[in-house]
Structure 1
């Protein structure tokens, strides 16, 4: 896919207003901890989980809460904070995870409002603090289209990574599994201590943590495991090494419609319009995505970096494309997963069109050819559509 990110750190992006969207955190019911006009520091709670009040969600910046936008049934859509020129952090104290008990490590992460970095399987929701996972799985690379290079992002963060791993080790009675690419050269990943390191090679979804769990130690009925990516492990380690909540991410800007790709530092919720200004193709409709083209979230040109994302992608919308025979046209310029015509070994300029619609699923074994797990994918998809899971 055209638009690979150039491995160059371009600078830092900051915005006057930062917007946090509770819907980014699956499986929670948010309750406000602030009101419009309140002053907050970076690390101060903005909201909490209704059924687990100890699970706080931290502000990434210091400033004043300006807007609390609600939608249908008064559901909280987003919280806006007008950021200070200089960020003031709430001090949680420097701690060494290896010297703390499991409960102290857990409480430190909860109090700091970054528990949302830990996900739970099954269902990929925010982890339940009251449960003890069988194991914890960390993915140290990403194979999604135009994905950022974790080795590049994690340069110089070896100490934070190890502190994060030490904290995770306290949270499970089992093991912490770290999956890396054979091409990985980052010492913080390759030389991580007290974790089980496994190399995964191959195309996407080799970097998907669910695939890695399936090959390492599948989840059986009644079992719970937790998952993270290595970038979030470093954020947890930063909490213990520096005593502050620093939600700064190094974000890749990629896509065929970006003039100058590269990496920028920013916090979650940062407005991205200055990143796109004079840096994207003009004259056509564009699809702006927080995340990767497969699983990212569609945003506006003045949208924000959503929680959990370290990639922003810009591709053509495709609504201005008119082709003879439409999806059935045969052209070597088009990508074909099924080799309908000779496929060239090149990067393609793909757009956001689905090129299809709702139809009956015919069991043709097409999914089986690429599915990385030893299960029946078509039957699983039918069960999901019928809510029979």
Structure 2
């Protein structure tokens, strides 16, 4: 028996270039990268040095403020470079990979006979812990705390998002083993959100409270699901794990080896053959994207929340999607006129896009306007299906008013929940960045 979550507010962006359900092994990347920036608020303390040999699963660095949280190598090879930026901040650890992986052995474990503390210790030692993230704040979870619940969203609604069931089709047993392990981390419930497909194997997963979700994006955001199932209050903690990371956790318990293989969708209007690839976390994107022609933007993640990848860039630690769209450097003459160049999706009926609700668009990165005054339009509320006043919360974050931020629901939101606000708001403000700054302030002042 499942619980239904029906979302009405939001907007599904239909873009060209959806990945075909065809899975191939990507050519092995020559170099891989683990970027501390993927783990927000983590200050890395290096364990390895340049030129040092590592096995897959060997520790590269740990968190300065909690040395139990370790970050490990996805492959075996040699530490080629530790890149640093301003003030010697570590940008990424680059590993030159061996032809085949040699794994650090942790020993297979049956989580069903382990205590909560033993499961937690195994995940910390094997490098699995960074897959567990905490709400509020959207950071790596603190292993010294206990969450009131754990949430997994297997319903993806972001533009061109990878199909979760297809991604997991060869990892069903690993996924169930992962559920069994992470259920030991909470005294509460493990919530699994899926779509309305009754034929999906996810309906048969044991040890979870099942929720069937329907509605437009951001219905697939785990934060929206938490809001409708078990909202977060001050002082409470909820942990979040993505579905494929659950499978990696289960695989590691079964084999005793940290296998960082994940299925990644290559999508976007500028991809000749959009499809799925089996790659390792941190792979150089060019290894499976191939030669890139034209003026395009490569994004690790989706078009709303992903990170721009420079030439020679790497797959993000938490991403299972690479999107390629045109770079928007063209000027639209008289673009402010109603009904002018109506080739992009829009919430406004000044664009003819509303006449073709099923059309898929070839979008670029043009901002289509400049940043302007933040005025009350009601646009934000239409795309945020939460009992939150988005404009007032953004203003409170900008003013760094902690009391108002708490009263307006800062504990329930993350930047990705405001991704559609970025798209819909005519003021062109960077709402995700403002929310991230507000959350960072709360971490610093409240903890």
Are 1:323 and 1:329, in contact at CA under 8 Å, matched by a contact in 2? no
Q: Which residue of 2 aligns with 1:324?
A: 333
Q: After superposition, what is the alpha-carbon deviation per residue over 1:90-142, rounded to whole angstroms, capped at 9, x for unaligned?
A: 11111111100000000000001121101001010000011000111111121
Q: Which residue of 1 aligns with 2:103?
A: 89
Are 1:13 and 1:264, in contact at CA under 8 Å, matched by a contact in 2? no
Instruction: Report the more deviating stretch, 334-343 or 288-297.
Output: 334-343
Relative to total residues, which structure has the larger helix share, 1 or 2?
Answer: 2
Q: Which residue of 1 aligns with 2:254?
A: 241
Are 1:142 and 1:208, in contact at CA under 8 Å, matched by a contact in 2? yes
Q: After superposition, what is the alpha-carbon deviation per residue over 1:212-247, rounded to whole angstroms, capped at 9, x for unaligned?
A: 000001001110110111111001101111111001
Q: Which residue of 2 aligns with 1:213?
A: 226
Structure 2 counterpart of 1:99, from 95, 113, 118: 113
After TM superposition, give the deviation of residue 326 of structure 1 in Å. 2.6
CA distance, structure 1, for counterparts of residue 394 and residue 197 of structure 2: 33
Q: 1:82 to 1:184 in 2, by over 3 A?
A: farther
Q: After superposition, what is the alpha-carbon deviation per residue over 1:175-212, rounded to whole angstroms, capped at 9, x for unaligned?
A: 1100011136442x211112100000111101100000
Question: Any runs of at least 4 consecutive aligned residues in structure 1 with deviations exceeding 6 A, and if so which?
Answer: none
CA distance, structure 1, for counterparts of residue 68 and residue 279 of structure 2: 27
List alignment gaps of at least 5 residues for structure 2: 1-14, 406-447
CA distance, structure 1, for counterparts of residue 397 and residue 159 of structure 2: 25
Q: Which residue of 2 aligns with 1:337?
A: 347
Q: Which residue of 2 aligns with 1:59?
A: 73
Give the 5 Å matches for 1:161-310.
161-183=175-197, 185-187=199-201, 189-278=202-291, 280=292, 282=293, 284-310=294-320
After TM superposition, give the deviation of residue 387 of structure 1 in Å. 2.9
Q: Which residue of 1 aligns with 2:11?
A: none
What CA RMSD, in Å, does the superposition of the two structures yield over aligned residues?
A: 1.4
CA distance, structure 1, for counterparts of residue 338 and residue 311 of structure 2: 32
After TM superposition, give the deviation of residue 328 of structure 1 in Å. 4.1
Are 1:239 and 1:245, in contact at CA under 8 Å, matched by a contact in 2? yes
The secondary structure found in structure 2 opposite 1:235 is: helix
List alignment gaps of at least 5 residues for structure 1: none
The secondary structure found in structure 2 opposite 1:214 is: helix
Please tell me whether residue 150 in structure 1 is matched to residue 164 in structure 2: yes
Q: After superposition, what is the alpha-carbon deviation per residue over 1:319-348, rounded to whole angstroms, capped at 9, x for unaligned?
A: 0x2322134452343322122233212011
After TM superposition, give the deviation of residue 366 of structure 1 in Å. 1.4
Are 1:289 and 1:297, in contact at CA under 8 Å, matched by a contact in 2? yes
